[in-house]
Amino acid sequence: MKHVPLLINGEFISSQSDQQIEVTNPANNEVIAKVPCATSNEMEVAIASAKEAFTTWRNVAVPERARLMMRYQALLKEHHDEIAKILSKETGKTFDDAKGDVWRGIEVVEQAMNIPALLMGETVENVARGIDTYSYIQPLGVCAGITPFNFPAMIPLWMFPLAIAAGNTFVLKPSEQDPLTPTRLAELFLEAGAPKGVLNVVHGGAQQVDHLLTHPDIKAVSFVGSVPVGQHIYKTATSHMKRAQCFAGAKNHSVIMPDANKAQVLNSLVGASVGAAGQRCMAISVAVFVGEAKNWIPELAEMIAKVKPGLWNDKEAGYGPLISPKARDRVLSLIAQGKAEGASCLVDGSGFTVPGYEKGNWVGPTVFADVTDDMSIYKEEIFGPVLCCMSVDSLEEAIALVNRNPFGNGTSIFTANGAAARKYQHEIEVGQVGINVPIPVPLPFFSFTGWKNSFYGDLHAYGKQAVRFYTETKTVTSRWFEDDIPHGPNMTISLR
């Protein structure tokens, strides 16, 4: 039995807590590790370690911080498949999907390597006679990250590399459901040369989260997870005078125009809807077919029905199990509600299992047609391999439907008409839009920009917005008098 350690002040230590949470293999629910709920004292020591490290780390030259990220990126690439294997075993993701999780995190570390350019301020000479104004970008202090189960590599790497590269120190509280992957990320960060206390990792549940949210030495909190938790974290953190960025729920729509490339549409919807068992905040869970495009629904259902869930190392598996029995039972309950409310269940995955792994958290691919916006399967984020198909008569109706939804994380449109695409991207009230792209997650030199109830805060994850989130701007106005200029020659090129 593996006992997951805490990382405090540069050392992995065994927690003294008597509260342990079981980490299970989602394919069979066997216990593979135990993760501690850090004690109050351990939380205090971790935060104090980060606070002490900040006093020196903030003064480390920016290029040297960038070099740390270069070394870290190289180690992540070297250990890419190893990390993905750990990730697969504790999340149930297929190996290819796990590798994608790791790689999208590495891309953010590559952006952190560019930190010298991202920290450049601004300057204006002669704002008044003989007076100049310029700005510096400076770190906040100790920052914290609270990450979800569904991307245990990518989302921690959204957070601590950019925060630390900007000169902050960090306390990470990863999901208690899959802590082995973040622990390995932290081990490699130390191997890259991170000083003691710059990154600390604590474990636990709501009590440990609230400790971070209310602690006076934590200056900013980043969170990814569900709506109720996101609302709690945002309200608690901001009421304690902290910055907060909280990425919450989603209900992502894909609008399919009748002039779209049919083969591309169907192939895209299969992967975007049931890939990763639907446990993506950017999964397409609603397909809105405009006009005659609705005739493609039966063929789409046939394709999705052929997707085979399976074990992480099964090369024929399209996706793995859900993370927990609780998650599985919730999805099965919503499938039953969809049937009871009158939706047409074209593909029913509620009875699916994998031979030899009957105790796993399996849900087969599921497709509903004739879905209306008053049904539970439409109103709630299912977070499972379930696609809801809806039909409308026009693009205007599709836009109105999407805009009425309280979530605004991501959306896409499939069309061959540039004017239709332009109208959609302009009028849609969603933060991330794909045109003939099913899952429009931006690369890290942009930012992850969910809207409405999908995000609480002002500045988003990674990219330039994250650098602004983790820093303050100091503006200096200066004036020097010419009478103070020393006289006499300087015969060297030295600036000293």
Residues tagged active-site: 281
Cα–Cα distance measured from residue 375 to residue 5, given in angstroms and rounded to the nearest whole number = 44
How do beta strands 243-247 and 455-456 pair?
A: antiparallel
Cα–Cα distance measured from residue 307 to residue 271, given in angstroms and rounded to the nearest whole number = 9
Sign of CA dihedral 466, 467, 472, 476: negative
Asked if 202 contacts 43 with a C-beta cutoff of 8 angstroms, the reply is yes
Asked if 68 contacts 194 with a C-beta cutoff of 8 angstroms, the reply is yes
Q: Phi and psi for 172 in degrees, rounded to 5?
A: -105, 130
Asked if 36 contacts 203 with a C-beta cutoff of 8 angstroms, the reply is yes
DSSP output for 217-250: TEEEEEEES-HHHHHHHHHHHHHTT-EEEEE---
Asked if 145 contacts 168 with a C-beta cutoff of 8 angstroms, the reply is no
Structure tokens at 269: 């919807």
Q: Quick one: which of 109, 96, 124, 107 has its CA closest to 70?
A: 109
Q: Quick one: which of 481, 400, 476, 486 has its CA closest to 136?
A: 476
DSSP output for 79-147: THHHHHHHHHHHH---HHHHHHHHHHHHHHHHHHTTHHHHT---EEEEEETTEEEEEEEEE-SEEEEE-
Asked if 32 contacts 90 with a C-beta cutoff of 8 angstroms, the reply is yes
* Residue 26 CB partners (closer than 8 Å, separation 6+): 90, 91, 92, 320, 321, 322, 323, 324, 360, 361
Angle of helix 95-112 versus helix 62-78 axis, rounded to 10: 170
| Local structure of 345: helix, strand or coil | strand
Asked if 220 contacts 143 with a C-beta cutoff of 8 angstroms, the reply is yes
The DSSP bridge partners found for residue 123 are 134
Q: What is the rounded end-to-end Cα distance, in angstroms, of the chain?
A: 59
The DSSP bridge partners found for residue 344 are 369
Please write down the HEC assignment for all residues of 28-64.
Answer: CCCEEEEEECCCHHHHHHHHHHHHHHHHHHCCCCHHH
